[in-house]
């Protein structure tokens, strides 16, 4: 089984450095352009896809729909692919978070997986729901459009590094992360590619 994880296209919140979490923020115009470039790239590969899955939040869903239209795939939405719920941090910038929620920031630095976002989830809870989704996938090549936190949880679980700091994995918007499970998820897997965003490089040819 192969799982190709794609982070959604960029939003205005991304561009402005504002925490989103599960706020339903739509794609920015640049995000739609990124999704189109991604769709062209994936179409050129000529691969056969078992299914196209997406978080139900609009920024992921719209990214998936743009790709699905190009590849001839129908989007299957799943709430478990949502970004971590950051609770009261949603709508704030990082400086505002540090000023208002210093205690949380300190806890998250000591134990990032179990520090609960004020009014939200823990990263451990995010991990559990993402892996519940992955464990239900069957054989084949699955394309999954999700969010930075969810993709990091998938990567760290694959390499059995759940205690690592997830934010050290850099993922550009619409980047591709590939996981391979030769004997299915329960048989263990490996990470093939993390954060591949070659289609966003200047001069990348989108024609054809």
Enumerate the active-site residues: 8, 83
Residues 6+ apart with CB under 8 A from 191: 155, 158, 159, 177, 178, 179, 180
Task: Please name which of 169, 57, 77 lies closest in space to residue 123, comparing C-alpha atoms.
Answer: 169
Strands 75-77 and 190-196: unpaired
Whats the size of the chain, residue-wise? Answer: 208
Report the alpha-carbon distance of residue 137 to residue 31 in Å, rounded.
28
């Amino acid at each position: 089984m192969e799982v190709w994880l794609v982070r959604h296209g960029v939003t205005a919140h991304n561009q402005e450095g504002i925490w989103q979490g599960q706020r339903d923020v739509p794609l920015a115009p640049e995000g739609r352009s990124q999704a189109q470039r991604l769709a062209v790239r994936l179409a050129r590969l000529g691969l056969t896809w078992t299914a196209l899955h997406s978080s139900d939040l609009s920024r992921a869903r719209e990214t998936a729909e743009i790709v699905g239209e190009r590849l001839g795939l129908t989007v299957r939405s799943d709430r478990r692919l949502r970004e971590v719920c950051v609770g009261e941090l949603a709508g704030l910038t990082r400086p505002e978070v540090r000023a208002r929620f210093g205690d949380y920031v300190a806890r998250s630095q000591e134990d990032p997986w179990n520090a609960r976002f004020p009014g939200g989830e823990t990263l451990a809870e995010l991990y559990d729901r993402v892996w519940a989704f992955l464990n239900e996938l069957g054989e084949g090549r699955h394309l999954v459009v999700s969010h930075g936190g969810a993709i990091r949880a998938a990567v760290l679980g694959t390499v059995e590094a759940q205690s690592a700091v997830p934010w050290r994995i850099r993922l550009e918007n619409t980047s591709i992360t590939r996981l391979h499970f030769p004997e299915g998820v329960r048989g263990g897997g490996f990470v093939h590619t993390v954060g591949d965003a070659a289609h966003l490089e200047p001069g990348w040819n989108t024609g054809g």
